[in-house]
Amino acid sequence: MAELKMKEELDMNATINTQTEKKDPASGIVQSSKPVFEARDFNLWYGDNHALQNINLTFKENEISAIIGPSGCGKSTFIKSLNRMVELVPVVRTEGDIVYREQNIFDKSLSVEELRTKVGMVFQKPNPFPKSIYDNVAYGARVHGIRKKKVLDQIVEKSLRGAAIWDEVKDRLNANAYGLSGGQQQRICIARALAIEPDVILMDEPTSALDPISTTKIEDLMQELKEKYSIIVVTHNMQQAARISDKTAFFYQGYVVEHDDTKVIFENPKDKRTEDYVSGRFG
Amino acid sequence: MQLVDKDQVAKSLGGRQLLNKSMKFLFLLCTLVGLVVLVTLIVDTVLDGWSHLTWDFLTSFSSSRPESAGIYGAIIGSVWLMAVTAPVAIVLSVGTALYLEEYAPKNRITNFITVNISNLAGVPSVVFGLLGLTIFVRQLSLGNSVLAAGLTLALMIMPVIVVAAQEAIRAVPSSVREASTGMGATKWQTVSRIILPAAIPGIITGIILALSRAIGETAPLVVIGVPVSLLVTPNGVFDTFQALPMQIYNWVKMPQEEFQYLTAAGIIILLLILFLMNSVAIYIRNKYSKRF
């Protein structure tokens, strides 16, 4: 097992090294952090449409990884593959492996429910349940069998604090979550994801439906969350990727064109298409 | 160059506004026609039946003499009938709707089944009566019991509830489904904690409308052979029984004029029960309605 892990790390470092020939030594990769997700020759089809082609990507612990790319490039499909939500589309077929902490997520020994407990997700549009704020945040814990009121109370408070919204809602935990603003709703959704104490948080364009002030709040929050969680975020907004992420992967037409330190992607990209995209020439 | 002729625009304005106003009155008229006919019907029935709506009428069994005929047996029988029809229809229909919407693969077979359930909703009730007669009364030897009639009516209203429940379930936004699934909830947890609570107002509305139809349905009961005169109430689901619509149908056939007033009184009772059921439906719908 240990050997396998070492081999993986070596492989991974090899991939990164080949991608970062002109790497700035100041932004050197922290060699010690472990990979959480690794896609290996991952392919995905929607019916006949080959949406993801030979994806090889590694995401590491306690980092924010951004996935950017023009519409329809497969970035949402990819992030939804990581917690197997993409399989809700009936015509999806996959090939290749996605490894989560040394375990293939498509392996039968790992149930989707277990995977999704460890890999939380925040969606593009705030999607709270039509329930009270308390019930929204406690939902995940209840689903996983936690019933004790005292424990639930603590989980709700901790999660709401973690999502930087506790002070705004502590006096109205029993109010319907639909009464909150879009930005608050999205932070409730983040709190809801935190409540099951995941390992990785996937965010699919978490701020695209929000105003600039709410966006800033959520970006600040992501920086705090990074200390405890690994975050993979899909974003349409290149400035956002540049601001918040440590690593950036550029997807184009179902391929990973380039994956590197965010600084390299934005300042010194290797591929012409990456350069064109990040400089706003297309997309 | 001016493509828009300002004079022409000004000239057509009056006509457009007139048409706009007349359409409003046309639609109001349509509404009024239905309303007036309905009110006439109700007023006429109430005027005819009011004086016969006595305590004796409510507590007496059917009789061939109009002065001593009552509706007690029919009311109790109809309650028994609904007590069988409602649970059977609700469980079967909501289960079917959940399976079709949430579990079944989205393919041609599922589509075919869905379309044909909608078609079943349009099958005449007398056909369901024949089905009940063949299967429940004869094959399963249930006779003209509460159970046979209840099951027949349950099958008859099932398509209506299935269609209503499917629509209510479909109206639950997929984003909250995804939220629940994304947190590691199982399908059943998502269905029971998120989808059903959100769909319940729509489902209940469908159930009550369907039960209202069932309680006033006569044709299947005629085919099954529900008796029109009986001096006992059923003690269990295997006993025979009387039903409100059968009783009304029987009275309206009678030659004596007195029976026509009893018919009107019977209709008032039936309408009151329907009114009560619909009020419950509206109450539940308003109580549980959650906007997305």
Residue extents of the structural domains in chain A: 2-128+198-278
B140 neighbors B134 (Cβ within 8 angstroms): no
| Chain A residues in contact with B182 (beta carbon < 8 A) | 83, 85, 116, 120-121, 123
Over residues B238-260, the mean pLDDT reads 87
**A116 contact B CB<8A:** yes
Residue A16's pLDDT is what?
44
Query: Residue B125 above 50 pLDDT?
Result: yes
User: A88 touching B, CB under 8 A?
Assistant: yes
Question: CA separation (Å) from B59 to A21, B68, B251, B277, B292?
Answer: 96, 10, 17, 22, 48
**Integer Cα distance of A84 and A115 in angstroms:** 8
Integer Cα distance of B256 and B268 in angstroms: 20
- Any chain A CB within 8 A of the CB of B194? yes
For A45-70, what is the mean pLDDT? 91
Higher pLDDT, A122 or A10: A122
Q: Is B167 exposed, middle or buried (0-12, 13-18, 19+ CB in 10 A)?
A: middle
Of the CA atoms within 13 Å of residue B120, those in its CB half-sphere come to 19
Phi, psi dihedral angles at A50 (to 5 degrees)? -80, 90
Q: Which residues contact B131 (CB under 8 A, 6 or more apart)?
A: B152, B155
**Lowest-confidence region among A2-11, A50-59, A86-95:** A2-11
pLDDT digits (tens, 9 = 90+) for B132-151: 999 999 899 888 889 999 99
Instruction: Kindly state whether B291 is in contact with chain A, defined as any CB-CB distance less than 8 angstroms.
Output: yes
B105 touches chain A (CB under 8 A): yes
pLDDT-wise least confident of A23-32, A106-115, B226-235: A23-32
B214, HSE (Cβ side, Cα atoms, 13 Å): 35
B183 touches chain A (CB under 8 A): yes
Average pLDDT score over residue span B76-86: 91
- Using only C-alpha atoms, chain B has a radius of gyration, in whole angstroms, of 25
Helices A212-225, A182-194: axis angle to 10 degrees equals: 20
Nearest to A230 by CA among A201, A259, A207, A196: A201
pLDDT (0 to 100) of residue A10: 46
Is A84 in the B-facing interface, judged by CB distances under 8 Å?
Answer: no
What value does the mean pLDDT take over residues B271-284? Answer: 87
Percent of chain A with pLDDT over 70: 88
Distance of CA B242 to the CA centre of its chain: 20
CB contact under 8 A, A117 and B184: yes
Of the candidates A115, A125, A130, which has its C-beta nearest B290's C-beta? A130
pLDDT band at A32 (very low <50, low <70, confident <90, very high): low
Average pLDDT on A226-233 reads: 91
Interhelix angle B258-288/B72-98, nearest 10 degrees: 30
Say yes or no to pLDDT of A86 above 50.
Answer: yes
Question: In the prediction, which pLDDT does A24 show?
Answer: 41
Class of domain A2-128+198-278 (CATH, top level): alpha beta
State the Cα–Cα distance between residues A106 and A94, nearest whole angstrom.
9
Cβ neighbours of A115 in B, within 8 Å: 184
Note whether A2 contacts B: Cβ–Cβ < 8 A.
Answer: no
How would you list the strands of the sheet with A49-60, edge to edge? A49-60, A35-46, A92-100, A103-104
Q: Output the six-digit token pair for A70.
A: 């023009």
Contact of B196 with chain A, judged by CB distance below 8 Å, is answered with no
Which of A88, A116, A178 is closest, CB to CB, to B183? A116
Structure tokens at B244: 């409100």
In the block, residue with structure tokens 């989980």: A155
Average pLDDT for A73-82: 91
With an 8 Å Cβ cutoff, are B291 and A88 in contact?
Answer: no
The residue ranking higher by pLDDT, B237 or A79, is A79
List the 168-207 stretch of A: residues with Cβ below 8 A of B.
176, 178, 189, 192-193, 196
pLDDT for res B19 = 94
For residue A37, the cross-strand partners are A59, A100
- pLDDT (tens digit per residue) in B1-55: 788 888 888 888 888 999 999 999 999 999 999 999 999 999 999 998 888 888 8
Nearest to B253 by CA among B222, B220, B214, B274: B222
Cβ atoms within 10 Å, residue B1 = 2
Is residue A254 pLDDT above 80, yes or no? yes
β-bridge pairing A64-68 and A49-60: unpaired
User: Mean pLDDT across the stretch B258-272?
Assistant: 89
Mind listing the pLDDT tens digit for each residue in A131-169? 999 999 999 999 999 899 999 999 999 999 888 889 999
Give which of B171, B108, B151, B120 is closest to B238, Cα–Cα. Answer: B151
Distance between CA atoms of B280 and B204, rounded to whole angstroms?
Answer: 9
The better pLDDT of the pair B286, B210 is held by B210
Q: Give the separation between CA A250 and CA A14, rounded to whole angstroms.
A: 19
Cβ-Cβ contacts under 8 Å, B185 against chain A: 113, 139-140, 143
Whole-number pLDDT of residue B290:
58
Length of chain A: 283
Q: How far apart are CA A47 and CA A90, in angstroms?
A: 9
- pLDDT, mean of residues A221-246: 90
Q: State whether residue A114 sits within 8 Å of chain B by CB.
A: yes
Tally of CB atoms within 10 A around B156: 27
**Inter-CA distances, A236 with A72, A83, A209, Å:** 11, 20, 11
Q: Helix B244-253 vs helix B72-98: angle between axes, to the nearest 10 degrees?
A: 130
| pLDDT reading at A14 higher than 70 | no
Interface test with B, best of A100, A115, A127 (most B CBs within 10 A): A127
Q: What is the mean pLDDT of chain A?
A: 85
Q: What is the CA A272 to chain-centroid distance, rounded?
A: 26
Using pLDDT thresholds of 50, 70 and 90, give the confidence band for residue A11: very low
pLDDT at B292: 52
Output the DSSP codes for chain A.
Answer: -HHHHHHHHHHHHHHHHHH-TT--GGG---TTSPEEEEEEEEEEEETTEEEEEEEEEEEETT-EEEEE-STTSSHHHHHHHHTTGGGGSTTEEEEEEEEETTEETTSTTS-HHHHHHHEEEE-SS----SSBHHHHHHHHHHHTT---HHHHHHHHHHHHHHTT-HHHHGGGTTSBGGGS-HHHHHHHHHHHHHTT--SEEEEESTTTTS-HHHHHHHHHHHHHHTTTSEEEEE-S-HHHHHHH-SEEEEEETTEEEEEEEHHHHHHS-SSHHHHHHHTTS--
Report phi then psi at A230, rounded to 5. -95, 135
Helix, strand or coil, per DSSP, at residue B240: strand
Q: Which residues are B129's β-sheet partners? A: none
Chain A residues whose CB is inside 8 A of the B183 CB are 116-117, 120-121, 139-140, 143, 192-193, 196
Report the length, in residues, of chain B.
Answer: 292
* pLDDT level of residue A18 (50, 70, 90 thresholds): very low
Residue B144: count of CB within 10 angstroms of its CB: 18
Has residue A128 got a pLDDT over 80?
A: yes
